[in-house]
Amino acid sequence: MSKRDQLVSNPPVAEVSKPRVQPGYYPGFSTMAQERFWDAATRRVVRQRVNGDKPIRFFTPDEERTMRSVVDRIIPQDDRVKARQVDLLAGIDERLFERRLEGYRYADMPPDQDAYRLAAKAFEQMAREEHGLSFHQLGTLDRERLLKSVHDAEPKSAKGIWKLLNIERFWTMLVSDCCGVYYAHPWVWDEIGFGGPAYPRGYMRLEEGEPEPWEVQELRYEWAAPPDTLTDREEAHGTGQEHQTHPGQGGTH
């Protein structure tokens, strides 16, 4: 079977319950396969993300257990085979351990490190108060409901801890940090069809969303999130504006 045939024979509907090596609409696309066209400094930085396990140095074992089951719901990866999942918590841990700041702290927030420790404690206490279990022992839906209450800035428990920080800013930092790890990974660039590093070669086909000769065509398929999750439903996110409590973080212009 030729490569092109393989692409076309991709099933039109995918079930997340059957994990894939590479989810997304760009079957066969691999940014890492292009690494010989990148400059040495970039190659080194990107390779470090793919190679090797990263140690947990900031979080305690208890905090690690809780926070792993938190970030696992912020960016779920059940559709990825284990070997192709991105270690979100290790990336966050590295930032906190190395005391890497984004250049500022909100006047109504403790230092990032303290905020994460407080939050780990709060998540655990919420699980205890509302379910009588440890956070990591909860099922997907229960964990998501607790997280949703934090997303909405309306936690029903552990209020004493959440009072110590601005809960909306914490939520934004948590999701931002997860995005900063997940969408920095070349496997995820493959998932979303991002071309990745492009120096010294550059891009040639700028208009009409056309792929470079080394990129692939999009091949869309319908997929459904697992039935035991609420984050693929509209209600999990709200209408947007009501949730934007502080300005965007990135430099775009």
Partner 1 sequence: MSTEDLLPLGGRFEEPDDAPGEKRLGAMQTIQIPRRRFRDTDVLDFAIVGVGSAGGVLLQRLARAGFRVVGFEAGPFWDTERDWVSDEAGSHKLYWNDLRITGGEHPLALGANNSGKGVGGGSVHWAAFTPRFHPSDFEVYTRDGVGADWPLTYEDIEPYYGLLEREMPVAGPAWFPWGKPHGYPYGPHPLGGVGDTLVKGCTKLGIPVCAGGPVAILSASHGDRPHCIYRGFCIQACKVGAKASTLVTHVPDALKCGAEIRDCCMVSRVSLDRYGLTDGVHYFDAQGREHFQRARTVIVCGYALETPRLLLNSACPGHEQGLANSSGTLGKYLMAQAGNVILGRFEELVRMYKAPPAHALTEEFYETDPKRDFARGFAVQTVAPLPIAFARQMMAAKGLWGWGLRRAMMDYNHWSTLGVLGEILPWEDNRIEIADGHDGRHNAQDRFGLPVAQVTFRLHDNDKRLIEFGKAKVMEIMSAAGALEVAQESRYAHLVGGCRMSLTPETGVCDKFGRTWDVPNLFVMDGSVMPTQGSANPGLTIQALAARTADHLISCPDHVTKRSFDEPPCRKELSPPGTFGRGVPHVA
Select the residue interacting with partner 1 from 8, 21, 101, 133 (CB under 8 A): 101
Write the binding mask 27 to 46 for partner 1: x where contact by CB under 8 A, - elsewhere. --------xxxxxxxxxxxx
Instruction: Compute CA distances 99 → 49, 112, 174, 247, whole Å.
Output: 19, 9, 16, 23
How far apart are the C-alpha atoms of 93 and 141, rounded to whole Å? 25
Q: Is 132 helix (H, G, I), strand (E, B) or coil?
A: coil
Q: Which is nearer to partner 1, 8 or 101 (CB)?
A: 101
Q: Which is nearer to partner 1, 160 or 213 (CB)?
A: 213
Residue 240 is classified by DSSP as S
Contacts (CB under 8 A) with partner 1, residues 107-126: 107-108
Q: Which is nearer to partner 1, 7 or 75 (CB)?
A: 75
Write the binding mask 184 to 223 for partner 1: x where contact by CB under 8 A, - elsewhere. x---xx-xxxxx-xxxxxxxxxxxxxxx------x-----
Q: Cβ of residue 252: shortest distance to partner 1, in angstroms? A: 4
Select the residue interacting with partner 1 from 6, 60, 137, 176 (CB under 8 A): 176
Contacts (CB under 8 A) with partner 1, residues 149-168: 151
Query: Is residue 175 close enough to count as binding partner 1 by CB under 8 A?
Result: yes
Phi and psi angles of residue 15, each rounded to the nearest 5 degrees, phi first: -105, 130
Query: Is residue 52 close enough to count as binding partner 1 by CB under 8 A?
Result: no
Query: Is residue 13 close enough to count as binding partner 1 by CB under 8 A?
Result: no
For the chain, give the number of residues.
253
Q: Which is nearer to partner 1, 132 or 247 (CB)?
A: 247
Query: Is residue 252 close enough to count as binding partner 1 by CB under 8 A?
Result: yes
Q: Cβ of residue 11: shortest distance to partner 1, in angstroms? A: 16
Long-range CB contact pairs, 78-81, < 8 A, 24+: 78/16, 78/17, 78/19, 78/226, 79/14, 79/16, 79/19, 79/20, 79/23, 79/223, 80/19, 80/20, 80/21, 80/23, 80/187, 81/19, 81/20, 81/21
Q: Cβ of residue 239: shortest distance to partner 1, in angstroms? A: 7
Taking CB under 8 A as the binding criterion, the range among 59-67, 114-122, 128-136, 239-247 that sits at the site for partner 1 is 239-247
Q: How many residues bind partner 1 (CB under 8 A)?
A: 84
How far apart are the C-alpha atoms of 190 and 173, rounded to whole Å? 25
**Exposure of 216 by Cβ count < 10 A (0-12 exposed, 13-18 middle, 19+ buried)?**
middle
How far apart are the C-alpha atoms of 184 and 200, rounded to whole Å? 20
- Start-to-end Cα distance in the chain: 47
Contacts (CB under 8 A) with partner 1, residues 56-95: 73-76
